[in-house]
A and B are shown apart, each in its own frame.
Chain A
Amino acid sequence: MFATDDTIVAIATPPGPGGIGIVRLSGPRASEIAAAILSGPGNLEPRRATLTHALEPSRQRSIDRVLATYFPRPRSYTGEDVVEISGHGSPVVLRRIVESATAAGARLAEPGEFTFRAFLQGRMDLVQAEAIHDLVTAVTPRQARVAFDQLEGTATAAICAVEDALFNVVARLEASLDFPEEGYHFVDAKAAGVEVAELADRVRRLIASSRQGRLIREGCQVAVAGKPNVGKSSLFNVLCGVQRTIVANTAGTTRDLVTETIHLAGIPVTLVDTAGIRATSDAVEAEGVSRARGAVEAASAVVVVVDRSRVLDQDDRVLLRQTEGRSRLVVANKRDLPTAWSAEEQLEVGSGSPLVETCLIDGSSADTIREALLGLLEGKAPGRDPPAISNARHIGLLTSAETALRRAAAAAEGGATEELLLVDLEEARRALEEVTGKRTPDAVLERIFERFCIGK
């Protein structure tokens, strides 16, 4: 863990040149150190932007003209005394301001250290601290929106609501045990079991919402597969919107995996173009085919491209069979040519997954494919409401909470008495509390905070 009694400093804006760059100081000596490195007499006035100069350690020469603001504790980002110094966004200038601050006694901050201090000071809970990380690393607007909602406490609220309801059941069960002679009816074990089953469903729904949340937060990988020369690379290029891979009429043009990340309605999707999958004796091609199979295995969804102007052959059928049951989109390409498929074959190709017919040479099918792919990734109910849960740590804990709740509900149905149900209910409570950091072991904390970048 970090030391937390000293004053830390770091550049808070991204590396590289920019219009403005900010250096942030936090800790008990923030104000004193700011006074030492800024021109002008005395300390900064709280919560007021002051135009001044940042000085070299010798105080002989100015580094930059800056705007400095002092936020006294506890009403600051970290809950400690904070000074923010905005200079011109030159990496060299900002680095020199930081050096001045360290010369005056500040320590260079570790990644995530500002947010860690905010957490320690109770300025935010764990979910919110994690959301800050998500917010600053968001690539798509939807990612930013989900992260911001979590920062605003939507995830915390959703989990706390379940926690409250659970605590209510627990309290009544405990009361039944501890006050058996009071004559008041608290709750019997069977009835509590029914309530607990409902809570398990609520947790289940939170987890279900996380599927979409994770998709937005983490994105996914989609492999484009098919036998040679059916139009995989054309499809890849249409989706990327650029000529990313070489397209030729020669079968087996793509030998290695080609990847490109696109944004599909705010979801980062890594597309993988693969070599045509067929039985082959060429050593280089065989390696390509083997990599293609690997990519298909690893992807969270597969787009299988089939040429509808040619009769289905063994290679098509093997690939279709191998991807059966996967999250899959079948693209029947070359709509511009007459189909070679019988009605049965058409049915065979379309069974078990969505099917779109396309013509990839002119790009007119791009929107159709995007829509079908998005539908595939988001599942049946594309999210209108932003999902509350998107973080793998939260999902893991919610899943253990649900397991414990289900176990309690089943035990209650089987006639188990209160004190036994309470073992599982306590386990569920512990898992829920761990999400928001009320009972997080320090190892988890370290894990969470080590992922931050400097200055946030």
Chain B
Amino acid sequence: MARGFDVIVVGAGHAGVEAARAAARMGCSVGLCTLSEATVAHMPCNPAIGGTAKGHLVREIDALGGLMGEAIDATGIQFKLLNRSRGPAVRSPRAQADKRRYGAWVAAALRREAGIAWIFGRVGRLVERGGVVAGVELEAGSGAAAGERLHARAVVVTTGTFLNGLVHVGDRRTPAGRAGEPPSHLLAESLKGLGLSWGRLKTGTPPRLDRRSIDFSRFEKALGDEEPVPFSFLTPTIDRPQIVCHQLHTTEQVHEMVQANIARSPLYNGRIEGIGPRYCPSLEDKVMRFPHHERHHVFLEPEGLDVDEVYVNGCSMSLPAEVQEALVHALPGLEDAVMMRPGYAVEYDFVQPTSLARSYEAREVKGLFLAGQVNGTSGYEEAAGQGIIAGINAARAVAGEDPFVLGRDEAYLGVLADDLTTRGCLEPYRMFTSRAEYRLFLRIDNADLRLTERGREVGLVGDRRWARFENRRSRFERNLRRVSGTTVTLRNGRRARASQALRRPDTMLDELTSGGGLRLEVGSGEEQVDVCSVETHFKYAGYLERQAATIDRGRRMEGRRIPRAFSYAGVPGLSLEIVERLSAVQPETLGQALRVPGVTPAAVALIGAKVGGK
């Protein structure tokens, strides 16, 4: 008898673990396929979570009931809130992780889920019948359950860089999904038979150095915040001691060495076909593309409290190992550093996400979901954000329910799904705050107000989180009334409504509560969020109203649905190019159609006339 599950998740990286947990919490039996428990929620590149816009994604995942926020709060070793000098909408938490503890924490959390069964082995084939997923088949000789066929009603593929992965270090090319781990070739070919469109991308990682060989006193210190801001709404405070990172800079000599060896870089000698991310350039790219920069930042980041590997942030490269070693030694202060392993570039196949609906379900194969780096994104947070939504939708598909789709005006998670499935990827996709046109609404301080109720509705938010949230929301509402109803004394002696006083750029809430006669209600361990969400509500009021007006205008377009399998060729006046693009993307609404690259407002007006409705 073959084993069967409601949902099978292929891969236990950041996307896979969120998908498996979400589906299990929603009552599904889940089979989680991974090669080894040691690489669950692994961080093969930067040992950090968060950053601008990425921190927003983590808060949103947490607000929906996901894992990532609690995991990093429990295992982070240095926390920093970015963009502190700017407004609350663009502040974003970032933390260095102890990568081993992070993975172990997540694995333990999944082990506590009764609905998840672990399957150690390599998935070789997706089983599909008549455009509907039926399960997966494990590769022969790939582990405990070799050759076994597993039935499932939904499959979530989260294979990261493993599909036909190829690792480059100088001239050395090794088929691998990550350094030292064999790639998935059979699964890649099986998925390619399903009519999805494909592309090839590249990413890279820097060398790792031995902590014991570095004299850190020679570098500038890079410190975290004194009072760490947690990622999760459930974490009251973080009082673990924090580690120190260090900063140095590249020199002209280093740049000259890179130039002298550039022909040995697979990035520059034509051996790499995949397209790399422009926002995360390799050292080769930095030197070649920005010759006017005299120096570039380099950060030394420990990969954990009791790990000797140090991550050399800012120096991702794929030059031959001996060149990398020489380059490291040329960095001032690292003359004697021992390189434990070289950096590398990895090329991999990805599914062009325009083949997917915004639920991450493949349009051509019912029950097949894809999430994470396999969809062309980069970053653990982007992966986790897709994983949780794909997991929710896999569970809903099994239950015969409508897809769960967040709007661009509701969450960065909505922006992510819409961008990927509408525009596709020309380079690895990373989230930025500038991608969110409703940025002022999508803040870390209101992620729970935006999303926790949605998470509760789909069955992902447990009772503990829900009770805490309900208190927090009613506190928020009472605080709004207090601020609107209290008259305070300002520094200049004048009296004004607290809500009006807060609109001035230089008046902050703590000034009104400490001396102005305003009293706020705060939850224990929730001051930060309580104060910030109230303050921002009033500080941004004028701008929020204007942005709200835009959202209303936008919603009209978002509300006009385009029927499934709509024939664009049948719309008079559309150019052939636009017909091709729209047919490939199959947008679900007129608003989405307008965001497809190259599609003009005039074209959308024509489609609107055909689709009808207002």
Contact = CB atoms under 8 A, between A and B. Distances in A.
B474 interface: no
Given A5-B572, A180-B52, A440 B609 contact: no
Interface stretch (A17-25, A211-219, A322-330, A412-420): A412-420
Interface residues of chain A: helix, strand, loop or mixed (majority):
loop
A186 interface: no
Interface string B578-614: 0000000000000000000000111111101100000
B601 A438 contact: yes
Contacts of A423: 440, 543, 546-547
B605 A445 contact: yes
Interface string A121-133: 1100000000000
A420 B602 contact: no
A420 B543 contact: yes
A181 B601 contact: no
Nearest to A178: B432
A6 interface: yes
Contacts of A119: 602
Interface stretch (B85-93, B117-125, B132-140, B197-205): B85-93
B225 to A, nearest CB: 14
B83 A180 contact: yes
A416 B540 CA distance: 11
Interface in A86-123: 117, 119-122
B506 interface: yes
Interface in A1-31: 1, 3-6
A426 B438 CA distance: 11
B215 interface: no
Interface in B543-581: 543, 546-547, 571-573, 575
Contacts of B53: 178
Given A178-B432, A419-B87, A423-B546, A440 B572 contact: no
Nearest to A176: B86
Given A4-B572, A121-B575, A442-B601, A180 B82 contact: yes
Interface residues of chain B: helix, strand, loop or mixed (majority):
loop
B173 interface: no
B505 A415 contact: yes
Contact of B52 (A122, A177, A416): A177
Contacts of B432: 174, 178
Given A180-B82, A416-B505, A437 B573 contact: no
A184 B601 CA distance: 37
Contacts of A315: none
B439 interface: yes
Contact of A440 (B85, B433, B546, B601): B601
A437 B543 contact: no
A183 interface: yes
B508 to A, nearest CB: 12
Interface string B402-437: 000000000000000000000000000000111001
Interface in A407-453: 414-420, 422-423, 426-427, 437-442, 445
B572 A419 contact: no
Contacts, number: 91
A182 B297 contact: yes
Interface in B259-298: 279, 293, 297
A177 B434 contact: yes
Nearest to B594: A439
Contacts of A167: none
B505 A3 contact: no
A240 B131 CA distance: 80
A285 to B, nearest CB: 54
B89 A419 contact: yes
Contacts of A117: 573
A6 B572 CA distance: 8
Contacts of B604: 442
A422 B89 CA distance: 12
A331 to B, nearest CB: 50
A177 B86 contact: yes
A122 B575 contact: yes
B601 A439 contact: yes
Given A3-B572, A178-B434, A416-B505, A120 B603 contact: yes
B90 A442 contact: no
Chain A CB within 10 A, most for which of B506, B546, B571, B602: B602
Interface in A41-67: none
A177 B90 contact: yes
A181 B609 contact: no
Contacts of B90: 177, 417-419
Given A1-B606, A177-B52, A180-B52, A120 B82 contact: no
B204 to A, nearest CB: 18
Contacts of A414: 505
A144 to B, nearest CB: 27
Chain B CB within 10 A, most for which of A177, A179, A420, A437: A177
A205 B37 CA distance: 67
A420 B87 CA distance: 8
Interface string A147-182: 000000000000000000000000000100111111
B559 to A, nearest CB: 15
B572 A437 contact: no
A427 B601 contact: no
A3 B571 CA distance: 9
A426 B297 contact: no
A266 to B, nearest CB: 33
Given A177-B90, A180-B82, A419-B87, A442 B605 contact: yes
Nearest to A74: B575
Contacts of B543: 420, 423
A174 B53 CA distance: 12
Chain B CB within 10 A, most for which of A178, A417, A437: A178
A177 B53 CA distance: 10
A4 B86 contact: no
Interface string B499-511: 0000001100000
B607 to A, nearest CB: 10
A450 B90 CA distance: 45
Nearest to A3: B572
B506 A415 contact: yes
B89 to A, nearest CB: 5
Contact of B83 (A4, A122, A177): A177
B86 A419 contact: yes
B383 to A, nearest CB: 19
Contacts of B575: 120-122
B608 to A, nearest CB: 7
A183 B297 contact: yes
B605 A174 contact: no
Given A419-B87, A419-B440, A437-B602, A174 B434 contact: yes
B111 to A, nearest CB: 36
B548 to A, nearest CB: 11
Contacts of A427: 546
B37 to A, nearest CB: 34
A442 B608 contact: yes
A180 B547 CA distance: 24
Contact of A1 (B87, B547, B609): B609
A179 B87 CA distance: 15
B174 to A, nearest CB: 32
Interface string B67-106: 0000000000000001101110110000000000000000
18 contacts: A1-B606, A5-B572, A120-B602, A177-B52, A177-B433, A177-B434, A178-B53, A178-B433, A414-B505, A416-B505, A417-B85, A417-B86, A419-B87, A423-B546, A438-B600, A438-B601, A441-B601, A445-B602
What 4 A-B pairs are tightest by C-beta distance, nearest first? A5-B572, A4-B573, A442-B605, A174-B434
Given A178-B434, A423-B547, 20 more contacts: A4-B606, A120-B573, A120-B606, A177-B52, A177-B86, A177-B433, A178-B432, A180-B83, A417-B86, A418-B90, A419-B90, A420-B87, A420-B440, A422-B439, A423-B440, A427-B546, A437-B602, A440-B602, A442-B602, A445-B605
Interface of A: 1, 3-6, 117, 119-122, 174, 177-184, 414-420, 422-423, 426-427, 437-442, 445
